[in-house]
């Protein structure tokens, strides 16, 4: 059983090569550039870990992991266009560097190449793996659309928001694990629990991400505290606050959102504190993390095989950066 770091190293050896032809360079340099600026490669390694939970890692797992990472990068390139984001991983985004038309096409062709890797695996696995991959891809697109829709709406229900996060973030984490498990020969019951482990872990991760934006140590977190508040971004905390505020605090909160007060972050955090939204978010994260662990427990393999996934979950969700 290998640790995340070791598998990430193995994946990097496999992945850090060209994925596109040389020509036309005006198209393919853009994709290679983006893949070259890094990323933690969590999803592809989850695929390898899902495989190793049940059996020695098969070569096909690296093909599928590659497809997953290319798909993830495709979504990032297109999301950055939609969000008009200038930076990703502290580097210029593809559309900033190559123009939005090339970024659009570089994303398109990256998705096509992702499917190419899926087609390389053993024929008997292609349909099952690719069907899950495609379903997940559709869900991620739906999640991105809902995210954009919600940003335009004044009120978003907690259930709707959780559903959006599931689609936009969790299903790819869950599917990466499940694809690995499939290649490792796991049965349906184990695959179900593995998927649910990933789905809940993904939500816990996003709750924490929203939490850390408000309460993270800026030195460790690497971002300005309250960035989401400044941008009026819908987060678990804001939605909960809007749902649970009394009339007076609701009015204050809405006034703060509508304006650009110098102490906006401090004031919103004050309301969050009054409403105990911070404690609620912490508990919510614990709830989803516990759900994730509950499903991991249900997987019928010896406990020692689960250790790397347990440690990774802890690392991902207890992180303070």
Binding site for a second copy (CB under 8 A): 24, 26-27, 78, 81-82, 101-102, 104-105, 107-109, 111-113, 115-116, 119, 123, 126-127, 130-131, 134, 137-138, 141-142, 144-146, 148-149
What is residue 87's three-state secondary structure? strand
Quote the tokens at residue 246.
Answer: 């009394």
Provide, rounded to whole angstroms, the least separation between the CB of residue 30 and a second copy: 9
Provide, rounded to whole angstroms, the least separation between the CB of residue 134 and a second copy: 5
Which C-beta is closer to a second copy: that of 111 or that of 158?
Answer: 111
Which C-beta is closer to a second copy: that of 157 or that of 222?
Answer: 157
Provide, rounded to whole angstroms, the least separation between the CB of residue 150 and a second copy: 10
Which C-beta is closer to a second copy: that of 89 or that of 138?
Answer: 138
Which C-beta is closer to a second copy: that of 113 or that of 175?
Answer: 113
Measured distance CA(109)–CA(101) in Å, rounded? 12
Yes or no: say if 253 and 232 are a contact pair by the CB < 8 Å rule. Answer: no
Provide, rounded to whole angstroms, the least separation between the CB of residue 15 and a second copy: 19
Provide, rounded to whole angstroms, the least separation between the CB of residue 245 and a second copy: 28
Q: How many DSSP H helices and E strands does the chain contain?
A: 17, 2
Burial class from Cβ neighbours inside 10 Å (0-12, 13-18, 19+) for residue 267 reads middle
What number of other Cβ atoms are within 10 A of residue 103's Cβ?
A: 22
DSSP 106-159: HHHHHHHHHHHHHTTS-HHHHHHHHHHHHHHHHHHHHHHHHHHHHHH-S---HH
Measured distance CA(219)–CA(124) in Å, rounded? 49
Which C-beta is closer to a second copy: that of 144 or that of 235?
Answer: 144
Strand locations in the chain, DSSP E?
Answer: 87-88, 91-92
Buried residues in 11-40 as b, exposed as e (16+ CB within 10 A) = beeebeeebbeeeeeebbbbbeebbeeebe
Which C-beta is closer to a second copy: that of 27 or that of 158?
Answer: 27
Q: Which residue in the block uniquely carries the two structure tokens 């800026």?
A: 218
Provide, rounded to whole angstroms, the least separation between the CB of residue 263 and a second copy: 32
Measured distance CA(155)–CA(318) in Å, rounded? 30
Cα-Cα-Cα-Cα dihedral of 152, 157, 161, 167, to 10°? -100
Which C-beta is closer to a second copy: that of 146 or that of 245?
Answer: 146
Provide, rounded to whole angstroms, the least separation between the CB of residue 311 and a second copy: 33
Which C-beta is closer to a second copy: that of 34 or that of 293?
Answer: 34
Measured distance CA(299)–CA(320) in Å, rounded? 29
Provide, rounded to whole angstroms, the least separation between the CB of residue 14 and a second copy: 20
Which C-beta is closer to a second copy: that of 170 or that of 208?
Answer: 170
Provide, rounded to whole angstroms, the least separation between the CB of residue 128 and a second copy: 10
């Amino acid at each position: 059983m290998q640790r995340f770091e070791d598998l990430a190293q193995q994946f990097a050896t496999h992945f850090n090569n060209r994925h596109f032809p040389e020509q036309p360079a005006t198209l393919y340099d853009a994709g290679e550039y983006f893949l070259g600026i890094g990323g933690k490669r969590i999803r592809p390694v989850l695929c390898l870990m899902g495989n190793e939970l049940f059996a020695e890692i098969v070569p096909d797992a690296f093909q599928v992991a590659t497809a997953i990472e290319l798909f993830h990068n495709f979504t990032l390139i297109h999301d950055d266009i939609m969000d008009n984001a200038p930076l990703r991983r502290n580097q210029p985004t593809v559309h900033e560097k190559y123009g939005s038309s090339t970024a659009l096409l570089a994303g398109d062709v990256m998705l096509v190449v992702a499917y190419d890797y899926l087609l390389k695996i053993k024929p008997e696995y292609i349909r099952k793996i690719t069907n899950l991959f495609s379903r997940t891809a559709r869900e991620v697109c739906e999640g991105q659309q809902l995210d954009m829709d919600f940003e335009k709406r004044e009120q978003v229900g907690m259930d709707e928001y959780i559903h959006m996060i599931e689609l936009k973030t969790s299903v790819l984490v869950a599917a990466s694990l499940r694809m690995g498990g499939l290649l490792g020969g796991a049965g349906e019951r184990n695959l179900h629990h593995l998927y649910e482990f990933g789905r809940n872990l993904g939500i816990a991760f996003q709750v924490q991400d929203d939490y850390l934006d408000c309460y993270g140590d800026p030195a460790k977190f690497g971002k300005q505290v309250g960035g989401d508040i400044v941008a009026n971004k819908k987060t678990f905390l804001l939605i909960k606050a809007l749902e649970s505020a009394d009339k007076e605090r609701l009015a204050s909160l809405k006034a703060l959102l509508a304006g650009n007060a110098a102490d906006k972050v401090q004031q919103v955090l004050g309301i969050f504190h009054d409403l105990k939204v911070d404690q609620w978010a912490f508990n919510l994260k614990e709830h989803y993390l516990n759900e994730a662990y509950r499903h991991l427990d249900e997987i019928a393999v010896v406990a020692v095989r689960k250790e790397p996934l347990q440690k990774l979950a802890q690392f991902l969700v207890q992180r303070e950066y």
